[in-house]
Amino acid sequence: MRKLLHGIIALLFCLNSSAQTIIQMEEYGGVYRIPCKVNGAKMKLIFDTGAEKVCLSLSMANYLYDNDYITDEDIVGSGTSTVADGSIVDHIKIIIKDIEIEGIHLRNVEAVVIDGQNAPLLLGQSAIKKLGKYSISDNKLIFGSNNTSNQMVLSQQAVDSIELIAFDAARNGYYIVAVEQYGLLYKNDYLTSYGKKWYAWFLQQSGNYEEALEIYFSIQDDIEKGESDEKADFYYSIANCYYDLKIYDKAIPYYEKTRYYTSSKWEGIGFSSVISIYQSYTEMGNYNMAQKVVDDNIYNYLKEKRFKRTDCWELNKKDEIVGLLYNMRAFAYSEYYAENHHLEIEYYLILSAAWGYDKSISFCNKVNLDYWSSSNIIKYK
């Protein structure tokens, strides 16, 4: 996937130029390598705009160390890196004092040594950002172009191709790869608000919740101009970021906004928001509010469906949403009142089972609670 992207970028970059330094890159296995010197040692690195730092293999680092191109003082720490397939590997952090490219010297460049003999040799952003203005045309790296914005200039075909690669990675669960590729478009201002929303979602799926929130809020005004269901989906994403960050008091208002805007109050993200509000209150230990959320929604749902509480027996009606809400009510009641109200807890579990909620049915069967008829419910009143 990374090889394909670099081939596309190398072929489709376009720019104006004058008074330029042109470096011929070498095509190798679908990617492009650039000749350079690392602290004086000649080597060829893959020009990788998607890599955060310069990357060396362990075997190359050992060669540089054994031949005094790097020393102990250049080793500054250790950590982990995410590679192209999304896996996490150990690395050693080093500082390369000098990378020379056609007489251009990049000083004190951060690099990582990947613990693998076959790790690729990459010229990543820790070096590339020191180059200043540059562009790529075919297999040529060009410095000193007239591009005064210091941004990459991509053809529409290149942008479309990067987007396709990102979505293909996301479909296969490689959200970090999707973030890496969409990040290239984001940093060079090729994303509309719609594209930024997807970039934020990729960030969210890869666990970068705070960065995702920053982007979500940057496009909020544009989203507010859209359709209700679009706004519902947008606010649901924000709410989930806060929930995953365990900032439940901020998640709740956005789940409520989701409910307000969604056209399907009792399906999909509409009903999921009810559950998430309830769970947020329970995570905060506010079981009283959790009960209130459930009570309000039981009342509203029964009223909207024109159900009576006892229709599960009198008309043999089954409804999993009613059953789930009563099950949630039982849990919140048990947590709020602890050991003091067994009958009330049983009452809600019986109602939940009678309305057809499987987990409550299994529990009632296990402890011999009669939920088949309303005759046994009298003792709970």
User: Strand, coil or helix: what is 348?
Assistant: helix
Residue 375 identity (one-letter amino acid): S
Indicate the Cα dihedral angle 231, 234, 235, 237, nearest 10°: 160
Mean pLDDT, residues 103-123 taken together: 80
Mean pLDDT, residues 52-62 taken together: 89
Give the ranges where the chain is alpha helix by DSSP (H): 2-12, 58-66, 125-128, 156-171, 175-187, 193-205, 209-218, 220-224, 228-244, 248-261, 268-283, 287-305, 311-314, 320-337, 342-354, 358-367
CB 111 within 8 A of CB 123: no
Q: What is the pLDDT of residue 276?
A: 96
Under the banding of pLDDT at 50, 70 and 90, the label for residue 5 is very low
Nearest alpha carbon to residue 60 among 79, 78, 46, 50:
46
Q: In the predicted model, is pLDDT for residue 38 greater than 90? A: yes
- In angstroms, the CA 69 to CA 90 distance is 22
Residue 59 vs residue 333, higher pLDDT? 59
Residue 378 vs residue 352, higher pLDDT? 352
- Domain map of the chain by residue range? 2-6+17-147, 157-224, 228-380
Asked whether the whole model's pTM tops 0.85, one would answer no
Mean pLDDT, residues 297-311 taken together: 93
Do the domains at 2-6+17-147 and 157-224 have one common CATH topology?
Answer: no
pLDDT tens digits, 117-168: 567 788 888 888 877 777 777 778 876 544 444 456 566 777 788 888 889 8
Q: In the predicted model, is pLDDT for residue 358 greater than 80? A: yes
Q: In the predicted model, is pLDDT for residue 44 greater than 70? A: yes
Beta-bridged to residue 57, according to DSSP, are 114
- In angstroms, the CA 294 to CA 296 distance is 5
Determine the Cα angle at 89 with ends 214 and 81, to 5°.
30
The DSSP output letter for 13 is: B
Q: What is the pLDDT of residue 142?
A: 78
Residue 175 tokens read as 């959200």
Mean pLDDT, residues 90-118 taken together: 83
Mean pLDDT, residues 101-109 taken together: 82
pLDDT tens digits, 186-202: 988 888 888 999 999 99
Spatial CB neighbours of 87, under 8 Å, sequence gap ≥ 6: none
Domain 2-6+17-147 sits in CATH 2.40.70.10: yes
The full DSSP string for 122-161 is EE-HHHHTTS-SEEEETTEEEEEES-TT----B-HHHHHH
Q: In the predicted model, is pLDDT for residue 22 greater than 90? A: no
Under the banding of pLDDT at 50, 70 and 90, the label for residue 234 is very high
Q: What is the pLDDT of residue 144?
A: 59
Spatial CB neighbours of 96, under 8 Å, sequence gap ≥ 6: 38, 39, 54, 70, 74, 108, 109, 110, 111
Q: In the predicted model, is pLDDT for residue 212 greater than 90? A: yes
Mean pLDDT, residues 328-337 taken together: 76
Under the banding of pLDDT at 50, 70 and 90, the label for residue 107 is confident
- How many CB atoms within 10 Å of residue 282? 20
| From 41-45, 156-160, 204-208, the region with the lowest mean pLDDT | 156-160
Residue 357 phi, psi (nearest 5) = -80, 120
Q: In the predicted model, is pLDDT for residue 18 greater than 70? A: no
High-pLDDT (> 70) share of the chain, %: 85
- CA–chain centroid gap for 241, Å, is 9
Q: In the predicted model, is pLDDT for residue 12 greater than 60? A: no
Domain 157-224 sits in CATH 1.25.40: yes
Q: In the predicted model, is pLDDT for residue 17 greater than 70? A: no
- In angstroms, the CA 209 to CA 247 distance is 11
Q: What is the number of alpha carbons within 13 Å of residue 324 lying toward its C-beta?
A: 11
Q: Which CATH architecture has domain 228-380?
A: Alpha Horseshoe (1.25)
Mean pLDDT score across all residues of the chain: 83
Nearest alpha carbon to residue 131 among 103, 102, 106:
106
Nearest alpha carbon to residue 130 among 154, 149, 108:
108
